[in-house]
Amino acid sequence: MTRTPRNPGPDVDGAQADHFLGLPGAHIVATDALMLTRDNLADVIEAKAMMCVHGDAGVGKTLSVNASLRELAADTVCRVQFRARPTPRDIRHTLFDALGVAGVPPLRPIEFDQTLKNVLSERFRVLVCDEAQWMSRECFEYWRHLWDDRRTDIAIVFVGGGDCYHVLSREPMLSSRVYVWQEFRRMTPEQVLRVIPAFHPVWEHTDADVIAFADAHAGHGNFRSWAKLTAHTVRALERLDRDRIDREVLGSVFAKMSGRSG
């Protein structure tokens, strides 16, 4: 029986953990957006520059960045993520932990910044700030402060929603330092028909009209929605003892995803 999806833990490898719920059997598909991300990150790494990857939730931003960096610079990546409105102090402490700095965090901001800059000058690192839409102008300025220091050896990748783009783009001091901007969008219906059969084995031999039906009612060109849809569909096939997806199977799945019975 297929294991129940959950938030991926330490027992799930990086490639699988990139998928929502750590979806078993899911593949990373070389979409146009992922290939562009890889090319853009290669340029950013070579230039030791800054990049902003932005777009709606669930469209594959973080997955594409993580997959590309595993290929391009796996040993140089330091990831940080914020779930609430952070302050520069939060960024300092999060970086201190993520970089594995020995000792106790300094109490004074000037000393703290000096410690971080010393560590960031030891070798090249790619700093990935996920969920960057939570950050204020002041926080982005702090990242700029670290990057501007001539001793630090870093590239910075911001990954976030539309707010991330708006804050960065409207401040000349910040936007002028972003080397590459990349926007992620939902898959078009045509892209869905190409990508989804390769995304998971359960869709590999499914009729195109059924995939289109699933996208119109639940997938909506969104990778996260398709991961949920796929997890529910796998379970539905097991419960119904079926081996083929049709509209009847999808009907029960749609009810779970929409919260409506009709």
The string of pLDDT tens digits covering residues 111-144 is 999 999 999 999 999 999 999 999 999 999 999 9
Residue 9 has pLDDT above 80, yes or no: no
What would the mean pLDDT of 178-196 be, rounded to a whole number? Answer: 97
Residue 59: give the domain boundaries: 32-184
Same domain for 36 and 157, yes or no, is yes
Residue 107 sits in a domain whose CATH number is 3.40.50.300
Q: Give the pLDDT confidence score for residue 4 in this predicted structure.
A: 43
In-domain check, residue 11:
no
Asked if residues 60 and 31 have their Cβ atoms less than 8 Å apart, the reply is yes
Same domain for 51 and 82, yes or no, is yes
Q: Name the nearest CA neighbour of 199 among 185, 209, 187, 216.
A: 187
Same domain for 80 and 180, yes or no, is yes
Q: Give the pLDDT confidence score for residue 5 in this predicted structure.
A: 45
Length of the chain: 262
Same domain for 69 and 170, yes or no, is yes
In-domain check, residue 27:
no
pLDDT category of residue 3 using cuts at 50, 70 and 90: very low
Q: What is the pTM of this model?
A: 0.89
Of 136, 160, 184, the residue that ends a domain is: 184
CA distance 118 to 24: 41
Of 139, 164, 184, the residue that ends a domain is: 184
What would the mean pLDDT of 57-80 be, rounded to a whole number? Answer: 96
Q: Give the torsion sign (CA, 16, 18, 22, 26).
A: negative
Same domain for 221 and 166, yes or no, is no
What would the mean pLDDT of 88-97 be, rounded to a whole number? Answer: 96
Same domain for 135 and 225, yes or no, is no
Residue 93 has pLDDT above 50, yes or no: yes
In-domain check, residue 10:
no
Q: Give the pLDDT confidence score for residue 1 in this predicted structure.
A: 39
Q: What is the dihedral of CA 177, 182, 183, 188, to 10 degrees?
A: 170
Q: Give the torsion sign (CA, 136, 137, 140, 145).
A: negative
What would the mean pLDDT of 169-195 be, rounded to a whole number? Answer: 95
Same domain for 228 and 160, yes or no, is no
The token duo for 175 is: 């936007």
The pLDDT tens digits of the residues spanning 12-40 come to: 455 667 877 788 899 999 999 999 999 99
Q: Give the pLDDT confidence score for residue 22 in this predicted structure.
A: 80
Same domain for 140 and 215, yes or no, is no
Same domain for 166 and 235, yes or no, is no
In-domain check, residue 116:
yes
Domain count across the chain: 2
Same domain for 44 and 141, yes or no, is yes
Of 157, 184, 211, the residue that ends a domain is: 184
